[in-house]
Amino acid sequence: MPGRNRNDLVRGPLPDWIATGSGRDSARARLSFRTVWISDLHLGTSGCKADLLLDFLRSIECETLYLAGDIIDGWRIRKGWYWPERHNDVVRCLLKLAHIGTRVVYVPGNHDEVFRDYVGLEFGGIELRAEDIHVTADGRRLLVVHGDAFDAVVLYARWLAFLGDSAYTLLLKGNALFNAVRRRFGLPYWSLAAHMKKRVKNAVSFISSFEEAVAHAAAERGVDGVVCGHIHTAEIRRFGDIVYYNDGDWVESCTALAEHADGRMEIVDWAARARNLAKNADKAAPRAMVPA
């Protein structure tokens, strides 16, 4: 952005539709990160915690913001229109961040895979990519994907031990084809994550084999780590030489992944932060009106 001081733009007063309400938002210091990843917002569904998400987006500043898939829930919208004003606010806030100089990269997931037809293009300053390689401040290369490509690998994990890597590659392709066919016939995306979550006993082993499958793919790609979403479970975990990062979601946990200026990575739990702020406000002013 030649001739414009990015920091002035980021820190300057925000337009009304960003700094709505109390005015506290525009006054308070923003949390500054080098990079932020969010995914699985599921805008267009009642599950999306849009209020907390807006509060988060208005509280941060970063050089690069990754939207790591399942941002708009296209599968759900097809069943019936659900689009409250709050969800518009989120979209406008994201566009605004791109406009004021944040690099915004959108890697579509399975619920917003219609956007996969547009990878390589740019809309309103938002870059659409099938995947990306992010280089951290301390020089590590991280593969950024949504993660749905690994559903089939996880499902057949037991067989893969016998069949080896060619079957693994075949499964990755098969998973994409399987859902492309379902989409063509107007069938909903078959979600392994949802399927496994119904069987509570298997949920833990599902999460762990998903993480292993993603880390395995990252190792094959020769990167130092991988950032994904999809299973709605935030995590930072090392598998051999690979560090697996999951930024969580904004339906259940309300978490993001953030990189600090020195390359240090952290999971930001915005729901927990909101709870703590409310608790402290309660202590400081016990007779204040706190909405239930």
Interface positions with Mn ion (CB under 5 A): 70, 109-110, 148, 230
| Closest distance of CB 111 from Mn ion, Å | 6
**Any bridge partners for residue 142, and if so which?**
134, 225
| Closest distance of CB 108 from Mn ion, Å | 10
| Closest distance of CB 41 from Mn ion, Å | 11
| Closest distance of CB 200 from Mn ion, Å | 20
Q: Report the interhelical angle of 270-284 vs 50-59 (nearest 10°).
A: 80
Quote the tokens at residue 179.
């859902």
Instruction: Determine the Cα–Cα distance for residues 223 and 205; give it in Å rounded to an integer.
Output: 25
Q: Pick between residue 148 and residue 211 the one whose CB is nearest to Mn ion.
A: 148
Q: Pick between residue 100 and residue 231 the one whose CB is nearest to Mn ion.
A: 231
Q: Pick between residue 69 and residue 225 the one whose CB is nearest to Mn ion.
A: 69
| Closest distance of CB 174 from Mn ion, Å | 17
Q: Pick between residue 100 and residue 149 the one whose CB is nearest to Mn ion.
A: 149
Q: Pick between residue 203 and residue 274 the one whose CB is nearest to Mn ion.
A: 203
| Closest distance of CB 230 from Mn ion, Å | 4
Q: Pick between residue 34 and residue 42 the one whose CB is nearest to Mn ion.
A: 42
The HSE-up count of residue 210 (CA atoms within 13 Å, CB side) is 27
76 phi/psi in degrees, rounded to 5: -75, -40
Query: CB under 8 Å, gap of 24 or more: what pairs does 87-94 form?
Result: 87/43, 87/44, 87/48, 87/50, 89/17, 89/50, 89/54, 90/41, 90/43, 90/50, 90/53, 90/54, 90/57, 91/43, 92/17, 92/18, 93/18, 93/54, 93/57, 93/58, 94/57, 94/65, 94/67, 94/126
